[in-house]
């Protein structure tokens, strides 16, 4: 299928599909006149890429675990477990930092309100 239909099926833009190809995440077949033709396997791979990006992975991080994107694997991708675990730890650190900042703001807000009411 051509890029427009592929993008529509994935719920992304053609530009995003071209970006996946440009950074090396997708290798799409082309017709003699240069049009990209997406197979069902390409769509599954692009869908996995889209899902990883939606969960906070960068294209560089996804490229490092590109073996996990392919239909060629015989089962679950072991490298993906380490990458997902690392990403989860990173998210937890960010969450802790945000909680600390939130608590500091709540404390300052309470102090300001107390001062204003006096």
pLDDT tens per residue across span 24-59: 999 999 999 999 999 999 999 999 999 999 988 999
Q: Is the pLDDT of residue 70 over 90?
A: no
DSSP-derived letter for residue 2 is B
> Which pLDDT band, with edges at 50, 70 and 90, does 69 fall under?
confident
Q: Which sequence spans correspond to the domains of the chain?
A: 1-75, 76-118
pTM of the shown model? 0.74
How far apart (Å, rounded) are the C-alpha atoms in residues 104 and 89? 23
Cα three-residue angle 100-104-106, rounded to 5 degrees: 115
Tell me the per-residue pLDDT of 75-97, one tens digit each, with 9 for 90 and over. Answer: 567 667 888 888 999 999 999 99
> Which pLDDT band, with edges at 50, 70 and 90, does 67 fall under?
confident
Percentage, residues of the chain above pLDDT 70: 94
SS3 content of the chain, % helix, strand, coil (to 5): 70, 5, 25
- The CATH code of the domain at 1-75 is 1.10.1660.10
Q: What is the pLDDT of residue 73?
A: 54
């Amino acid at each position: 299928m051509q890029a427009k239909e592929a993008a529509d099926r994935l719920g992304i833009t053609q530009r995003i599909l071209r970006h996946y190809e440009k950074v090396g995440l997708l290798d799409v077949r082309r017709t003699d006149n240069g049009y990209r033709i997406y197979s069902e396997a390409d769509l599954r791979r692009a869908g996995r890429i889209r899902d990883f990006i939606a969960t906070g992975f960068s294209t560089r991080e996804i490229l490092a675990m590109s073996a996990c994107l392919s239909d060629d694997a015989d089962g679950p991708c072991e490298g993906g477990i380490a990458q997902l675990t690392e990403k989860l730890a990173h998210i937890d650190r960010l969450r802790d930092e945000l909680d600390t900042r939130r608590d500091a703001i709540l404390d300052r807000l309470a102090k300001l309100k107390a001062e204003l009411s006096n």
